[in-house]
Structure 1
């Protein structure tokens, strides 16, 4: 039996795939990134935090808009890729830090803006992570949270979490929009705007990015073929396994 911690599993999943996430079209674009840029652009001299930066796509959108970006992630290989790409793009205001969200190595009130995108569903302890993000923001600072969200219906929620976990053992949980609002409020944020989007996931690239084992791919496809109409309709499951999920951008003020 494995003695690895959850954070070890996250590292093992994402470190080897750093370049795949840098190249991922799903991660490199999106209406949520456009909205994030619009919001962060109001803070031209800001010091910004990108928590769980992954391939760095939020960092790269922030860098031309703010004074400094700290790209933070558990994975050293991810951070090396982000640093290299930031240098290639001429972003001299990007620095990297290796840390779990639950123990950010930053003084309180360090940042004007904090963002996280497609990361929180991997966090071991979401309430602790949100509390840390609130702590490191200056009073009145803005946080922007972007992630895949679960429908607020048990049937659909169970299906989404099952597919996600089969694809990637570092998955913890996609929260619903209402759960996001409650968690942010508990962490001390004044909850602001919330916008939901639909995101199509191409099945082949979705499993390739995580090097999902063939047995797990077969299990995902078997589940999809046996799903009821409520599931296939909601997630728009296609013949090749591609499907569509909900995502959210939700803001909070410290």
Structure 2
């Protein structure tokens, strides 16, 4: 039920989301640069929570193939439109979630998940699904808002916004809790960074290797 509600929320907001700008472009570019640093160019990657495909299309030239997925069919429809316009033949888009992904074990060299893990109801199941899909030694590259590290007013505002239909499900956890959850399913953190260009950053960029 929670998954279906989240999908409906993002379907409703897909066009508005597509029209919105990136609030911290400098920070976003740093994240892209560090992600590219970890790519050789011959990998097959999957992204979860791809939204309207912006990041997947920016990274496509640095990968052999990228399959970008989202819970929302509305988001994926826009991403496909953008991919067709950009002409990236090595980028594909599908509706999927990490805990119920239909692809075989060890199908991918890299998994990407930007602004994803705080939006999943069962973080452990999502991380186990991501771990399953990776080749041994493969990388999970993520950047996740950790609400416990943010201003307490944010944690107060989110439930209010949910009641009036202005926010989806959002989990609250700390950076330490997130890293422990990754370690518990079989990941080793090999890079931790913060890329925001202003203010206190509670969105750690983490690169984790599958044991």
Q: Which of the residues 104, 109, 113 maps onto 1:112?
A: 109
Q: Which of the residues 196, 200, 203 maps onto 1:247?
A: 203
CA distance in 1, matches of 2:24, 2:51: 11
Measure how far apart 1:39 and its partner are: 3.1
CA distance in 1, matches of 2:58, 2:123: 25
Q: Which of the residues 127, 130, 137 maps onto 1:130?
A: 127
Per-residue CA deviations over 1:185-231 (Å, capped at 9, x if unaligned) read 0111111211124477xxxxxxxxxxxxxxxxxxxxxxxxxxxxxxx
CA distance in 2, matches of 1:91, 1:174: 36
The alignment status of 1:142 with 2:139, answered yes or no, reads yes
Measure how far apart 1:151 and its partner are: 4.0
Measure how far apart 1:101 and its partner are: 2.1
Structure 1 vs Structure 2 CA RMSD: 2.3
Aligned partner of 2:170 in structure 1 is: 172
Measure how far apart 1:145 and its partner are: 1.1
Measure how far apart 1:32 and its partner are: 4.4
Aligned partner of 1:83 in structure 2 is: 80
Aligned partner of 1:16 in structure 2 is: 12
TM-score (structure 2 length as normaliser): 0.87
Unaligned runs of at least 5 residues, structure 2: none
CA distance in 1, matches of 2:156, 2:196: 19
TM-score (structure 1 length as normaliser): 0.73
User: What SS does structure 1 have at the residue aligned with 2:204?
Assistant: strand
How many residue pairs are counted as aligned between the two chains?
205
Unaligned runs of at least 5 residues, structure 1: 201-235, 237-243
Residue range with higher mean Cα deviation, 77-86 or 32-41? 32-41
Aligned partner of 2:154 in structure 1 is: 160
CA distance in 2, matches of 1:125, 1:104: 14
Per-residue CA deviations over 1:71-120 (Å, capped at 9, x if unaligned) read 11111111110011011111111111212221111111111111111122
Change (3 A) 1:40 1:74: same
| Greater Rg by CA | 1
The alignment status of 1:52 with 2:46, answered yes or no, reads no
CA distance in 1, matches of 2:28, 2:127: 20
